[in-house]
Amino acid sequence: MRHVSPDRGAQQAPESFVSFGEQGAQLTYGSYLRLPQLLDAQHLESDPPAHDELLFITIHQVYELWFQQLLHEVVAARDAMTAGRLWWAQHLLQRVHVIERVLVQQVDVLETMTPQDFLEFRQRLAPASGFQSVQFRELEFLSGAKDPAYVERFRGLTAEERVRLDRRLEEPSLWDAFVQVLADAGLPSSDDGQVAASLRQVAHDRSTHAGVWALAEALLQHDELAASWRARHVVMVERMIGVKSGTGGSSGAGYLRSRLPLQYYPLLWELRSQL
C-alpha cells in the first residue's frame, strides 16, 4: 500500500479545493436579494410607532411580491397555451394554485392583529386602500374578469399604471388562450354556445382530449382559489373593522362581499350542471 505523507496531502488541498461561490467574491446573499433596499422599505406612518403597523406593511408588501410572481406565471401560462405547449401551461398553473393557497393562509398571520391594535394606526392610512392594488387588478384582467370601469374609478392612478391596466384590458386573457386551445384541437369555439358544447365533448371523452381537460380543470382551480381568497379576505375585514367604510372611501366589507359571486370562467362552472 502506497503511503502519502500528511505534509504532501496538506500541500495539495489548497490547490484542488475551491469553496462554492467564492471565486471573486462579487455576489453575496444580501446583494443578490437587494436586502438593504428590501428591508428599508417598511416605513411606519404612526407616531408614536404602533407595534402592529410593521406587520401590516410587511404582509401587504409580501402580497404584492406574490402578485408579481403570479403575473409572471399567468402570462407565461397564457403564452404557452397559445403556442400549443399544454403541458407547460398546466405546470405553471399548478404553481399558481400553490401560491394562491399561500395568499389565503397569510390572512391567518394578519388576524393575529386585534381590532384595537389596527385602530392605533388605521386613520393614518387614508386615503390609501387595497382597492388601489394595480397588480391585483392586472391579475383579474389577465384571468378573464376585465372591467374597464375599474380604471375610471381608480383614484391616484399614475400614468404608468394606467398604461399597464389598459394593456391588460386589450391583451388576451387566460380564457382567450384556452378558447384558442379548443380551436387548435379542432373543437368548435366561435361563441359561448359552441364552447359549452365542446367542453361537454371534452368532458365525455377525456382520453382523447386529456390535455384540454387538464387545462380546463387547472383554470377552474385557479378560479376557485381566487374565490377562496376573496371570501377569506372579507371575513378578515369584518373581523377587523366590522361595517366601517374602507380607508379609500369604499363601503369596506360591503364592497368586498359584492365581489364574492365573481367567476372568471362561468362556462366551466355551468359544465358541472350539464354532465
Residue 219 belongs to a domain with what CATH number? 1.20.58.480
Task: Report which of 138, 57, 61, 66 is spatially closest to residue 103, judged by C-alpha positions.
Answer: 66
Q: Does residue 244 lie within any of the structural domains?
A: yes
Q: Was 233 annotated as part of a binding site? A: yes
Q: What is the pLDDT of residue 125?
A: 81
Q: What is the pLDDT of residue 243?
A: 67
Question: Would you say 77 and 89 are in contact if contact means Cβ atoms under 8 Å apart?
Answer: yes
Does 59 carry a binding-site annotation?
Answer: yes
Any domain includes 140: yes
Domain that holds residue 66: 52-105+133-274
Domain presence at residue 28: no
Site of grid cell 387595497: 130
Q: Is 112 annotated as a binding residue?
A: no
131 is in an annotated binding site: no
Residue 126 lies in a domain: no
Task: Provide the pLDDT for residue 124.
Answer: 81
How far is it, in rounded angstroms, from Cα 89 to Cα 73? 9
Q: How many domains does the chain have?
A: 1
Whether cis (ω within 30° of 0) applies to the bond prior to 127 is yes
Q: Look at residue 127 and tell me if it is in a domain.
A: no
Number of helical H runs and strand E runs in the chain: 14, 0
Q: Is 56 annotated as a binding residue?
A: yes
Q: Is 58 annotated as a binding residue?
A: yes
Contact 241, 253 (CB under 8 A): yes
pLDDT of amino acid 156: 77
Instruction: Name which of 93, 72, 233, 66 is nearest 175 in CA terms.
Output: 93
Which three cell numbers, joined as nine digits, stand for 38?
A: 428590501
Residue 154 included in any domain: yes
pLDDT at 1: 47
Residue 46 lies in a domain: no
Mean pLDDT, consecutive 10-residue stretches, the chain (275 aa), reads: 51 55 75 96 94 95 97 98 97 98 95 91 75 90 92 83 94 98 97 98 97 98 96 88 60 75 95 93
Residue type, 123: Q
Q: Which long-range contacts (CB under 8 A, 24 or more apart) does 164-172 make?
A: 164/134, 164/138, 165/134, 165/137, 165/138, 165/141, 168/137, 168/138, 168/141, 168/142, 169/141, 171/142, 172/78, 172/82
Q: How many whole angstroms separate alpha carbon 264 and alpha carbon 142?
A: 10
In a domain, 122, yes or no: no
Report DSSP state, residue 25. Answer: T
- pTM score of the predicted model: 0.86
